[in-house]
Amino acid sequence: MKKITLSALFLILATAFILPVIATIATSFYGERNFTLQNYTDLLFDAFAFYPAFWNSLLYAGVIVIVQLFVVIPCAFGFANASFKGKGILFIFYIILMMMPLQVTILPNFIGLRDLGLIDTRLAVILPAIFSPFGVVVINQYMQGMNNSIIEAARLETNSIIKIIFHTVIPQVKICIFAVAVFIFAESWNMLEQPMLFLRSTNLQNLSVFISESGSYAGNILFPASVFFFIPVLILYSFFNNYLEKGLTFGELAK
């Protein structure tokens, strides 16, 4: 009875989460009391701003994921293996920064980008997102379960930290890296406040901004644009859902 009750509860919760997605897809094909493709026609053939917005979203999310991983993996490795004064305090600061809402940090980011002359450039969106503390905290916690004897053996062969990370660390934590990459992509794909505040040119805006301004275009393009919006994240989740489950199990490395 306990298993049946839990299964029923999870089914209800899963249904509650999936209903908005189903409703969005169904509404995207709904016209004046009948099934129609007119909404997609209006989006794809009349709202031409959709195309640069979609590719900008892919560009921003892809670049942020790749560059951020190059930053957070060595940083997490340093927290996990290096010994230096104040390491614990610095890691607590990372956790506090990770828990802060976006609204707290967006004004200092704007001031810094303005002083650097990066407002209304692609770097205005990409640069602040590269140094997010989320990946450092998660990968560092996962690294607590690494086999350090492999790392010590590698240190006998080379003094290059880069070679040690690529040949001994990444193979042990690759599942967590994939999981973090999916989260980073989803967060970057969903960006709204940053492009709205840091970018002024329409050709630099991403899909989130386009959807927020969909009412200014002819036709009912909101729901078809929303369908295109969640397709990339859905595809990523379909391919990497196992990594998400295993990669966030701290201290339990993949065999």
Domain boundaries, the chain: 1-36, 48-247
Q: Which of 233, 245, 241, 250 is nearest to 76 (CA)?
A: 250
- The pTM for the full model equals 0.86
pLDDT for 249 equals 62
Residue 170's nearest CA partner among 248, 102, 241, 69 is: 69
Contact 199, 125 (CB under 8 A): yes
Nearest to 247 by CA among 91, 141, 129: 141
CATH number of 48-247: 1.10.3720.10
Mean pLDDT, the chain, whole residue set: 87
Give pLDDT tens digits for 34-85. Answer: 888 889 999 999 889 999 999 999 999 999 999 999 999 999 998 888 888 8
Task: Grade residue 199 by pLDDT with cuts at 50, 70 and 90.
Answer: very high
The pLDDT of residue 241 is 77
Give the whole-angstrom CA distance, residue 90 versus residue 83. 12
Find the range with the poorest average confidence among 4-13, 141-150, 164-173, 189-198.
141-150
Report pLDDT for 255: 42
pLDDT band at 248 (very low <50, low <70, confident <90, very high): low
| 3-state SS, residue 30 | strand
Distance of CA 178 to the CA centre of its chain: 11
Cα torsion through 136, 138, 140, 141, rounded to 10: 160
Q: How wide is the angle at C-alpha 162 spanned by C-alphas 161 and 163, nearest 5°?
A: 90
Whole-angstrom Cα distance, residue 153 to residue 163? Answer: 12
What DSSP element (H or E) covers 20? helix 2-28
Q: How confident is the model at residue 247 (pLDDT cuts 50, 70, 90)?
A: low
Q: Using a pLDDT cut of 70, give the percent of the chain over it.
A: 96
Phi, psi of 174 (to 5 degrees): -65, -30
Give the bridge partners for 30, in sequence order: 35
Burial degree of 90 (CB within 10 A; 0-12, 13-18, 19+): exposed
